[in-house]
Amino acid sequence: MINEAQAVAIRSPEGLLFRLYPAGLYRRFLALVVDFFLLALLLSQLAMLLAVFAYVGLALRIVLGFVLPLVYHVACEWLWRGQTVGKWLMGIYVCDVDGGQLALSQVLVRNLFRAVDFLPGAYLVGMICAGVDSHGRRLGDLAARTLVVSQQTTWQPSNSSAIQVHRNALRDYPQLALRLRQRLPAELLVLCYQSLLRRDELSAEAQVRVFSALSAALQDIAPFPDELLATLPAEQIVRNAVALAVAERHLAASSSSGGAGR
């Protein structure tokens, strides 16, 4: 359920107004539980392997018990756009406070603080911090300037004329419209919008290349019927897809906000 009161509003240099929704503590806890059991399984298998070697001491096993979780969280969040297996299953991810992708330094800081959070005194402080902070940030998030947010992200363009269409032909294909709404990544959506916004700055040849590439990327996400491709130029396909995505996401956000109010 979307809580508009907790939404983080971010305006990009291109004039896009994004709203990020901080993940609830319950979903974050479930994600942590999933990651914990996954790591416990990996550690148990590693312990069985190391038990074969008599010279492997208890100290080394304890060190591995600290290093493996750290490597797991850092590697996943850095390579998997702010997600671990648990976060992926719960539909949440970590991002910069400005909504951008994480820097490696941010991933390292927030996960090094994770070890501090589990110390007896610091754990209580971390729980209080996450409960008091308006965005549910723990100490590591505050230090790294990061947010744990839901994948439910809405945005609206400042210049809606760039995506206005008289009649959106994509709406005649409900299955195609559904796939675009569900699978269109925010990065590609923003790139399409930027290209439409700046189309007049491009030469005719550049426009053809850019919109052909974007149209191909959209078709990789959701296959378009041949009759639609035969009647719509690449630029119109991009414009229709962006207009459809904006309308659907705005409607979803409005409906969720209204439901929360009731």
State how far the alpha carbon of 181 is from the alpha carbons of 150, 152, 176, in Å: 16, 12, 9
Q: Assess if residue 34 is contained within a domain.
A: yes
- Same structural domain, 52 and 142: yes
- Same structural domain, 125 and 226: no
- Same structural domain, 170 and 242: yes
Give the per-residue pLDDT at 186: 72
What pLDDT band is residue 23 in, cutting at 50, 70 and 90? confident
Q: Assess if residue 1 is contained within a domain.
A: no
- Residue burial 127-145, b: 16+ Cβ < 10 Å; e: rest: eebbeeeebbbbbbbbebe
Q: Is the distance from CB of 233 to CB of 215 less than 8 angstroms? A: no
Q: What would the pLDDT profile of 83-118 be if each residue is shown by its tens digit?
A: 999 999 998 999 888 877 899 999 999 999 887 776
- Lowest mean pLDDT of 55-59, 135-139, 169-173, 194-198, name the range: 55-59
Give the per-residue pLDDT at 86: 94
Q: Measure the CA–CA gap between 30 and 89, rounded to whole angstroms.
A: 9
Q: What would the pLDDT profile of 211-231 be if each residue is shown by its tens digit?
A: 999 999 999 988 899 999 999
- Same structural domain, 93 and 142: yes
Nearest to 209 by CA among 188, 238, 187: 238
The better pLDDT of the pair 2, 6 is held by 6
Across residues 201-220, what is the average pLDDT?
A: 92
Q: Assess if residue 134 is contained within a domain.
A: yes
- Same structural domain, 125 and 69: yes
Q: Assess if residue 10 is contained within a domain.
A: no
Q: Any bridge partners for residue 149, and if so which?
A: 22, 93
Domain boundary among 96, 124, 150: 150
Domain that includes residue 226, residue range: 159-261
- Same structural domain, 171 and 231: yes
Q: For residue 67, which phi and psi values (nearest 5 degrees)?
A: -70, -45
- Same structural domain, 185 and 256: yes
What pLDDT band is residue 255 in, cutting at 50, 70 and 90? very low
Domain boundary among 99, 118, 150: 150
Give the per-residue pLDDT at 177: 86
pLDDT over 60 (residue 5)? no
Number of structural domains (the chain) is 2
- Same structural domain, 181 and 142: no
Q: Assess if residue 15 is contained within a domain.
A: no
Q: What would the pLDDT profile of 146-185 be if each residue is shown by its tens digit?
A: 999 887 655 555 555 556 667 788 888 888 888 887 777 7
Nearest to 126 by CA among 111, 144, 114: 114
Give the per-residue pLDDT at 56: 60
- Averaged confidence pLDDT in the chain: 79
- Same structural domain, 243 and 125: no
Q: What would the pLDDT profile of 33-88 be if each residue is shown by its tens digit?
A: 999 999 999 888 877 776 666 556 666 667 777 888 899 999 999 998 899 999 99
Helix (H) or strand (E) holding 146: strand 146-150
Tokens 């709406």 appear where? 171
